[in-house]
């Protein structure tokens, strides 16, 4: 199966209101260019350094999404171009993104990562923490970040009911947060193995890697 064919298959199954982030982490520019030539413009990377290298080499109409853990000391390397940061885990990171965005006269869109999985390995804040941030005075003073929604990763398991209940938790967290913050539009949830289930549960943005580009070696 070719990258183009994979992309078309997935795109044809997505409802109109669901955005596809093609997760290109660990994949070479030549693979990403195949997806680009099939019309894909949104790509997700999980390491800031890799994303910067690909940004430098690739067409400038690509929208780069940072989907991985955000190390605060590296925000400065992506602040001039990153389009959406999915994995904001605390206020300090939001503050750093704001500071670096201001240097480039930009407003950077962000998602708050909510911990919905039972696994300890998964990052993120609680729904309460997210709610506190969005209602805080400190947050209202940040002029160069725009929080547009939430992101979550389900537990790595075959148990569909568990995944469904974790996705439902993210959706209801989003609904609660939206009561205070009408600007929220985006629920980033769903990967190759579970994006259809995620869409059933209200996802508006899916992050699909291996179903497009094939399995990763790393």
Ligand X SMILES: *Cc1c(COP(=O)(O)O)cnc(C)c1O
Q: Which residues bind ligand X (CB under 6 A)?
A: 23, 25, 46, 67-68, 153, 191-193, 207-211
Give the nearer residue to ligand X in terms of CB position, either 26 or 181: 26
**Is-contact 178 204, C-beta < 8 A?**
no
Tokens read off for 38: 């099939």
**Is-contact 18 202, C-beta < 8 A?**
no
Min dist CB 135 to ligand X, Å, is 27
**Is-contact 201 19, C-beta < 8 A?**
no
Min dist CB 141 to ligand X, Å, is 29
Min dist CB 197 to ligand X, Å, is 13
Tokens read off for 49: 């350094």
Give the nearer residue to ligand X in terms of CB position, either 16 or 215: 215
Give the nearer residue to ligand X in terms of CB position, either 10 or 130: 10
Give the nearer residue to ligand X in terms of CB position, either 193 or 202: 193
Tokens read off for 208: 């699909």
What is the distance between the alpha carbons of residues 56 and 25, in angstroms, rounded to a whole number?
A: 15
Min dist CB 44 to ligand X, Å, is 7
**CA 11, 13, 15, 18: dihedral to nearest 10 degrees?**
-50
State which residue has the least CB distance to ligand X: 209
């Amino acid at each position: 199966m070719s990258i183009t064919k994979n992309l078309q298959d997935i795109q044809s199954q997505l409802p109109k209101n669901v955005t596809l982030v093609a997760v290109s982490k660990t994949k070479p520019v030549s693979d990403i260019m195949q997806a680009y030539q099939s019309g894909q413009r949104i790509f997700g990377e999980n390491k800031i350094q890799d994303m910067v290298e690909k940004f430098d080499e690739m067409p400038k109409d690509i929208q780069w999404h940072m989907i991985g853990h955000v190390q605060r000391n590296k925000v400065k390397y992506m602040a001039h171009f990153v389009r959406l940061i999915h994995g904001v885990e605390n206020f300090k990171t939001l503050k750093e993104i704001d500071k670096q965005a201001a240097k480039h006269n930009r407003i950077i869109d962000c998602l708050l990562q909510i911990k919905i999985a039972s696994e300890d390995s998964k990052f993120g804040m609680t729904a309460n923490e997210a709610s506190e941030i969005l209602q805080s005075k400190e947050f209202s003073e940040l002029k160069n970040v725009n929080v547009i929604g939430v992101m979550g990763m389900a537990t790595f398991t075959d148990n569909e009911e568990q995944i469904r209940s974790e996705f439902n938790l993210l959706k209801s967290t989003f609904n609660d947060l939206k009561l205070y913050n009408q600007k929220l539009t985006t629920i980033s949830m769903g990967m190759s193995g579970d994006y259809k289930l995620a869409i059933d549960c209200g996802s508006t943005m899916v992050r699909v890697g291996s179903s497009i580009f094939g399995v990763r070696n790393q």
